[in-house]
A and B are shown apart, each in its own frame.
Chain A
């Protein structure tokens, strides 16, 4: 019986011109967004790969130099895009893509797309995720708002139920039929994306990407199911199609526009972030408590010198087996890195708290559950950004300390000497891999749980409500 109802709904929808027009429009948008996403991915990825290899080459091909000069010459770390970011660019557009790595300081990631684009990008990009998160639900609403009200208004519901069906069976049949229609619109775009991801040479396809894509599709399947069930339930409980449509559109506006903005504003008010200028000033002030490797009269540098002389049992800097300046640089770097990390960690923790508030709002609003899940699976959320930031800092710190070590090993009078150009070829270059799904999943448990909770509760409560609605 449920199958017959589902088939009837599916065939009726396919023959409805209004659905034809709307679905072709949404499908065209999805396909266009997929292709534009791929083109943008390809351009940005090529740029970043080329830039990374160029700066790596430049770094390795430095002439004979003092290692601390090399540390100040620095390098860049470019964030490669994750494969699924072609479907959901997440916060990538607004976070930076490159960070300058140099001695003594941890720079923030700069050069975001939004910084380099016109102001229109602030209205949001036309990504596959945007279409899936906001426009497909709108299509579902237009598709399903009359599921029961039209049957009631025309009288077909009585005829249907007189055949011996329950309201619950009719509702499940409708949910199945509408779901098939939605799949028909969405599946071609996702199939195209999957084909691009697994055949495009620019994508590093593999089991991890396949797993991410599978969960991405499953997440959206649950999200669409919610809208289909919700629309059918609202239609069954409203007296008229008009009332059902108004209620569903109201929900769409509140969930897709008002609540996300409200929670973002609330998060920013509850957990305010300090300005960059303030953070720089705080870091500078605190870093002064550590050794300044460039200041030979620094008191802490003097103390370190004394301890080194004692350690090696000598009475002057010149008799030390190591370069005092190199050791001081290493100690100074260790201290300043800690200071930077404390401040960046505090700043990131504030952002995390703001994001967490929005994630918890996913329990009230399915849009705020699918959004972090989608970004997280696409590798374009804030958590993945922080992972890159930390990887870049770990590389910077390791590189600078290695150079400080080289300087220390040069012994006294190192400032007058250079290390051979060949030395820089042996230093590691920055290379970054998006973390595996297993790393990302624990961060996505809340939005996944929220979506499943919504699906379970809405199905259970909604169908109970439908079973108790009156027919005549």
Chain B
């Protein structure tokens, strides 16, 4: 089987800290893999390794079969990224930000299509032509989601994407993820939100001190059981 995301014995050692200890992970098309864990558990390092922003100390990360370390530019065509706190260019409008990032990814959309991406992501139509420095964190997050969706990537890397979103927007985001995974997109989402992970994830992995200590299909657990499992590892 071809995995869209794969980690083989992935290890990252910083000067004073072992951030990742031999991670093995495969994520297939249409799968939503949620990484749970405390701050510093290695979730963001994992995402940065898949993005090629940090080099592994040993092991390898693959995106759509391409090794990230040696194909750092090519792999970016296959993936989209939404950070915890989407920061955009404050002097540009939401529409201009989306147009810019889409152009950089190789897509030149007409304005009507850009507007559709933004409103589909939940941004109020009256806000699209306002400068981003007037946006709330949630509004910026929605533009970030629109940027990721407009890239039509096969892989979504999400680092706490619902942080700052109101419950309605979070639900809309969950719906969007379900729709994208239904279209074959592979999703790796780092989150603290156990209930969101249970809701949208097909599998959850629990990370502790740089190690993936447990992986379960979400269908096998209810929310309380997942929370209990998580707390067990955290204690």
Contacts and interface: CB of A to CB of B under 8 A. Distances in A.
A398 interface: no
A319 B92 CA distance: 99
B89 A8 contact: yes
A264 interface: no
Given A4-B100, A15-B91, A159 B53 contact: no
A163 interface: yes
Contact of B103 (A4, A16, A156, A470): A4
Given A158-B53, A472-B53, A163 B76 contact: yes
A158 B100 contact: no
Interface string B203-234: 00000000000000000000000000000000
A262 interface: no
B81 interface: yes
A191 interface: no
Contact of A159 (B81, B92, B103, B106): B81
A160 B87 contact: no
B18 interface: no
B92 A162 contact: no
Contacts of A162: 51, 76, 79-81, 157
B88 A156 contact: yes
A155 interface: yes
A75 B151 CA distance: 81
A154 interface: yes
Given A154-B87, A470-B54, A472-B54, A163 B92 contact: no
Interface string B51-67: 10110000000000000
A12 B76 CA distance: 26
Interface string B82-106: 0101111111100010001101111
A161 interface: yes
Interface in A1-39: 1, 4-5, 8, 11-12, 15-16
Size class of the B contact interface (CB-based, 8 Å): 20 to 34
Interface string A145-169: 0000000001110111111111000
Interface in B64-79: 73, 76-77, 79
Contact of B83 (A5, A158, A165): A158
B83 A155 contact: yes
B79 A159 contact: no
20 contacts: A1-B103, A8-B89, A8-B92, A8-B100, A12-B89, A12-B90, A12-B91, A12-B92, A154-B87, A155-B85, A156-B88, A159-B101, A159-B144, A160-B101, A160-B104, A162-B157, A163-B101, A164-B73, A164-B104, A472-B51
Interface of B: 48, 51, 53-54, 73, 76-77, 79-81, 83, 85-92, 96, 100-101, 103-106, 131, 144, 147, 151, 157
Given A156-B89, A164-B73, A471-B54, 9 more contacts: A1-B103, A11-B92, A12-B90, A156-B88, A158-B51, A159-B87, A160-B104, A162-B80, A166-B73
| Nearest 9 interchain pairs by C-beta | A164-B76, A472-B53, A154-B87, A163-B104, A15-B91, A162-B81, A12-B91, A471-B53, A163-B105
